[in-house]
Structure 1
Amino acid sequence: MRAWNIWRGRVAVAIGLAGALALAACGGANDSSGTDSGEIKGAIDFWMGDPIGDTQQPIMQKLADDYAAARPGTKVNLRFLGKDAHQTYLTSIAGGSVPCVALIGNTWTPEFAALNALEVYADDPKTLQGTYVPGMIDSTIFKGKSYAVPYDTGVRALIYRKDLLESIGKSSAPATWEELREVALAIQAKHKGVNGFGIIGGAHWYYLPLIWNWGGDIAKQSGDKWVSEAASPQAVQAFQFYADLLTKDRLSPAGASAWTAADVDKSFGLGETAMMVGGSWDLRTILKQNPALESKLATAVLPKGPGGNNDTFAGGSNLAVFRECKNKTVANDFVKFMMSKENLVPVTANLGLLPATNDALAQEKSTGSFSSPLLKAYAEQADHTRSIPPVASWGKVEGANAIVNAMQSIMSGKKTADAAMKELSDQMNQAIG
Structure 2
Amino acid sequence: MAIGLAGALALAACGGASDSGANSSGEIKGTIDFWMGDPIGDAQQPIMQKLADDYAAAHPGTKVNLRFLGKDAHQTYLTSIAGGSVPCVALIGNTWTPEFAALNALEVYANDPKTLQGTYVPGMIESTIFKGKSYAVPYDTGVRALIYRKDMLEAIGKTAAPATWQELREDALAIQAKNQGVNGFGIIGGAHWYYLPLIWNWGGEIAKQSGDKWVSEAGSTQSVQAFQFYSDLLTKDRLSPAGASAWTAADVDKSMGLGQTAMMVGGSWDLRTILKQSPDLEGKLGTAVLPKGPGGNNDTFAGGSNLAVFRECNNKAVANDFVKFMMTKENLVPVTSNLGLLPATNDALAQEKATGSFSAPLFKAYAEQADHTRSIPPVASWGKVEGANSIVNAMQSIMSGKKTADVAMKELADQVNQAIG
8 Å contact 1:150–1:317 — kept in the other structure? yes
**Once the two structures are superposed, what CA deviation does each residue of 1:72-114 show, in whole Å capped at 9, x if it has no partner?**
1101112222112223321211001221111100000000000
Deviation of 1:25 after TM superposition, in Å, equals 9.5
**Contact in 1 for aligned 2:34/2:66 (Cα 8 Å):** yes
Q: Is the 8 A contact 2:17 2:315 kept in 1?
A: no
* Partner SS for 1:79: strand
Extract unaligned runs of 5+ from structure 2: none
Which digits, 9 at most, give the CA deviation of each residue in 1:205-224, with x for residues without a partner?
00000000000000000000
Equivalent position SS for 2:209: strand
How many corresponding residue pairs? 421
Quick one: distance in 2 between partners of 1:407 and 1:271?
A: 27
**Do 1:25 and 1:98's aligned partners in 2 also have CA atoms closer than 8 Å?**
no
Aligned partner of residue 318 in structure 1, secondary structure? strand
Among all aligned residue pairs of Structure 1 and Structure 2, give the percentage whose two residues are the same amino acid: 90
Q: Retained in 2: the 8 A contact 1:23–1:101? A: no
Please state whether the residue corresponding to 1:24 is helix, strand or coil. Answer: coil
After TM superposition, give the deviation of residue 19 of structure 1 in Å: 4.6
Write the distance in 2 (CA, Å) between the matches of 1:289 and 1:215: 37
In 2, Cα distance between equivalents of 1:22 and 1:152: 19
Instruction: Measure how far apart 1:23 and its partner are.
Output: 10
Q: 1:22 to 1:327 in 2, by over 3 A?
A: farther
* Residue aligned with 1:53, SS: coil
Q: CA distance change for structure 1 residues 270 and 52 in 2, over 3 Å: closer, same or farther?
A: farther
CA contact (8 A) 1:219 1:227 kept: yes
In 2, Cα distance between equivalents of 1:98 and 1:196: 48
**Deviations 1:375-395, CA, capped at 9 Å, x for gaps:** 000000000000000000001
Structure 1 residue 35: deviation in Å? 4.3
CA contact (8 A) 2:10 2:72 kept: no
Give the distance between the partners of 1:43 and 1:369, measured in 2 at CA.
Answer: 34
Cα offsets for 1:229-253 (capped at 9, x unmatched)? 0000000000000000000000000
- The answer as to whether partners of 2:203 and 2:296 remain within 8 angstroms in 1 is yes
* Cα distance change on mapping 1:86 and 1:50 into 2, 3 Å: same
8 Å CA contact 1:24, 1:331 repeated in 2: no
Report if the CA contact (8 A) 1:155-1:312 is conserved. Answer: yes
> Is the CA contact 1:120–1:147 (under 8 Å) kept in the aligned structure 2?
yes
Moved more, 83-92 or 322-331: 83-92
- Aligned pair partner of 2:348 in 334, 354, 360: 360
Per the alignment, in what secondary structure is the counterpart of residue 193 of structure 1?
A: coil
In the TM superposition, residue 46 of structure 1 has moved relative to its aligned partner by 1.8
- In structure 1, which of residues 241, 248, 257 is the aligned counterpart of residue 229 of structure 2? 241
User: What's the offset of the Cα at 1:22?
Assistant: 9.0
Q: Hey, what does 1:252 align to over in structure 2?
A: 240
C-alpha spacing 1:178/1:271, structure 2 compared with 1 (3 Å): same
Mapped partners of 1:33, 1:26: distance in 2: 16
Pick closer, same or farther for the CA change 1:272–1:352 going to 2, 3 Å.
Answer: same
If the length of structure 1 is used for normalisation, what is the TM-score? 0.95
Runs of 4+ aligned structure 1 residues displaced above 6 Å come to 22-26
Displacement of 1:288 after TM fit? 1.0
Name the Cα RMSD after superposition. 1.6
Q: Structure 2 length normalisation: TM-score? A: 0.97
Residues 25 and 327 of structure 1: CA distance in aligned 2, closer, same or farther (over 3 Å): farther
8 Å contact kept, 1:26–1:100: no
Q: Which stretch shifts more, 222-231 or 28-37?
A: 28-37
TM-aligned CA deviation for residue 198 of structure 1: 0.1
Measured after TM superposition, the shift of residue 36 of structure 1 is: 3.0
